[in-house]
Amino acid sequence: MASANPLAWWRGFLALPNDSPGKTIGIAFLVAFVCSLVVSITAVTLQPLQEANRFRESAAQLTGILEILGGGTPEPRLVALDTGAYAPLDPGTDSALPPERDMAGLGEREDVATVFELREGDRLAFVVLPVRGAGYQSTLKGYLALEADLNTIAALIFYEQDETPGLGARIVESAWQALWGGKQVADATGRVRIEVVRGEGAGPHQVDGISGATRTSTGVTNLLRFWLGPDGYGPYLERLGKEASG
Amino acid sequence: MSERRRILVDPILATNPLTLQVLGICSALAVTTALSTALVMSAALIFVLTLSNGIISLIRNQVPRSIRLIVQITIIASLVIVVDQVLQAYMFEMSKRLSVFVGLIVTNCIVLGRAEGFAMKNSPGAALLDGIGNGFGYALILVAIGAVRELFGAGTLLGIAVLPTEAEGGWFTPLGLMALPPSAFFLLGLAVWVVRVLRPEQAEPAPEPQSGEVPR
């Protein structure tokens, strides 16, 4: 077996008795290696197509949420998240988030995000904000629609998740999503209070949790608090609010 | 019939994995609500079964016995992931309708059964034919059940209206039961019965009453 010729070495390997430890480990490694190679190549080559499919899906969901709100054409706007100002173009860059501020478990977030504003005449009617964050075992992606006061939730939908079927995956059910309409994001002092609670929610800031899916529910709370907070759309919403009142 | 031909054709009726061996019925219940899902699921299973049989037969003389099942499952699971990824890329809507059931081909008893029972003992050529034969045997029953369930459950075949339903001004009232999993059990039972009436040699012999047993 100690031959320099790889072919001879290979023959020697094949000639080993099948149940010798060396051959067992060798075959296990080879099978695992070849299989992982095949799976990786397939996954990487097909990823762009799958991403395109998911994007179409999310676009269809967005159309759905806009139909529920009714009226107005959605106008996509690029927003620089740090300042809240409109950005002329999306540089496609990301900023790392320090762990203590990374409530939604994202690691990093984009510098410029696309939001959708719906206007009736000159008056702002709704804003639709893409949100995402870590759930129990997958990243939850959805859209949050706020009414013109920028505090009342018009709708919250999730279009992508891979949570436990029958438990966390129920966040995509319309019965649960319907609970969000009319809830208030922040209290009178401006503190973001919206949360998913265990059991039945009470008051304008609480939404019923899904029993058996505590970590998915917490994930939803955290991602909303992140995206509505200073590292998310906070600066943008603050600016919109000032413009509307002044 | 030549040996090769027998390996290919027998599993379609004579030793059908679903009706004779009653293997792989879990997926037969889940994906037969419509003909289209049954067709795609059948194609996925034929692909996985044929290739897993071929590959496992190819390496059968080198696989240590102690890890043979792990090796077989690794190969089968990789093929299943490839199929699942392809469906997600090229047939996105269909992959959402089939949801977890393509992934569950890994646990389909037919695939591991043929790998361990046939591919480990026969040449790659025979194993390929055996995979194709068993795949089509599974597909035949799946497509038949899917067609009956879609026709009587929704009045359509492949989404095209065949029986005009009452909701659209016709005369046909869809049978709600056909949309539910139990109907697949009934239809599968009927199929097993029909096959065994046509081929009495497949029926299991009635159990001999044991001595001392009280007659009921």
Main-chain dihedrals φ then ψ at residue B199, nearest 5 degrees:
-125, 85
The residue with greater pLDDT, B73 or B210, is B73
Contact check, Cβ <8 Å, B82/A39? yes
Residue of A nearest to B83 (CA): A42
Tell me, what's the pLDDT at A227? 93
Of the pLDDT bands very low, low, confident and very high (cuts 50, 70, 90), residue A244 is confident
The tens digit of pLDDT for each residue in A133-144 reads 999 888 999 889
Give the ipTM.
0.78
Q: Does B92 touch chain A (CB under 8 A)?
A: yes
Asked if residue B211 has pLDDT above 60, the reply is: no
pTM score, two decimals? 0.70
Tell me, what's the pLDDT at A2? 53
d(CA A18, CA B132): 29
- What tokens does A202 get? 């009470």
d(CA B216, CA B213): 9
Q: What is the mean pLDDT of residues B135-152?
A: 90
Residues 6 or more apart in contact with residue A105 via CB below 8 angstroms:
A133, A134, A219, A222
Cα of B124 to nearest chain A Cα, Å: 18
Tell me, what's the pLDDT at A198? 86
Asked if residue A213 has pLDDT above 70, the reply is: yes
Determine which of A175-189, B120-134, B137-151, B168-182 has the lowest per-residue pLDDT on average. B168-182
Do β-strands A112-120 and A123-134 pair in parallel, antiparallel, or remain unpaired? antiparallel
Q: What is the mean pLDDT of residues B123-148?
A: 91
Asked if residue A3 has pLDDT above 60, the reply is: no
Give strand pairing partners of A147: A126
Tell me, what's the pLDDT at B48? 94
The tens digit of pLDDT for each residue in B187-208 reads 888 888 888 888 877 777 766 6
Q: What is the mean pLDDT of residues A39-64?
A: 85
**In B, which residues are within 8 Å of A11 by CB distance?**
none
Specify the 3-state DSSP secondary structure of A202. Answer: coil
Nearest to B60 by CA among B149, B69, A210: B69
The tens digit of pLDDT for each residue in B15-39 reads 888 877 778 777 777 888 888 989 9
Q: What percent of chain A has pLDDT over 90?
A: 21
Tell me, what's the pLDDT at B191? 87
Using CB atoms within 10 A of its CB, is residue B104 exposed (0-12), middle (13-18) or buried (19+)?
Answer: middle
Residue of A nearest to B93 (CA): A53
The tens digit of pLDDT for each residue in A81-93 reads 888 888 887 777 8
Amino acid at A212: G
The tens digit of pLDDT for each residue in A99-155 reads 888 888 888 888 888 888 888 777 888 888 999 999 988 899 988 999 888 899 988
Cα of A105 to nearest chain B Cα, Å: 26
Asked if residue A72 has pLDDT above 80, the reply is: no
d(CA A18, CA B103): 31
* Domain boundaries defined on chain A: 6-46, 69-245
Asked if residue A238 has pLDDT above 60, the reply is: yes
**In A, which residues are within 8 Å of B70 by CB distance?**
28
Q: Does B69 touch chain A (CB under 8 A)?
A: no
Instruction: Return the top range by mean pLDDT from A45-49, A124-128, A160-164, A241-245.
Output: A45-49
Q: What is the mean pLDDT of residues A215-240?
A: 91
Helix (H) or strand (E) holding A96: strand A94-96
Tell me, what's the pLDDT at B1? 57
Distances (CA, A) of A77 to A60, A65, A107: 18, 17, 24
Interface test with A, best of B60, B74, B85, B90 (most A CBs within 10 A): B85
Do β-strands A206-208 and A195-197 pair in parallel, antiparallel, or remain unpaired? parallel
Tell me, what's the pLDDT at A15? 85
Contact check, Cβ <8 Å, B86/A14? no
Radius of gyration of chain B from its Cα atoms, rounded to whole angstroms: 20
- What tokens does B127 get? 């194993």
The tens digit of pLDDT for each residue in B35-91 reads 898 999 999 999 999 999 999 999 998 899 889 999 999 999 999 999 999 998 998
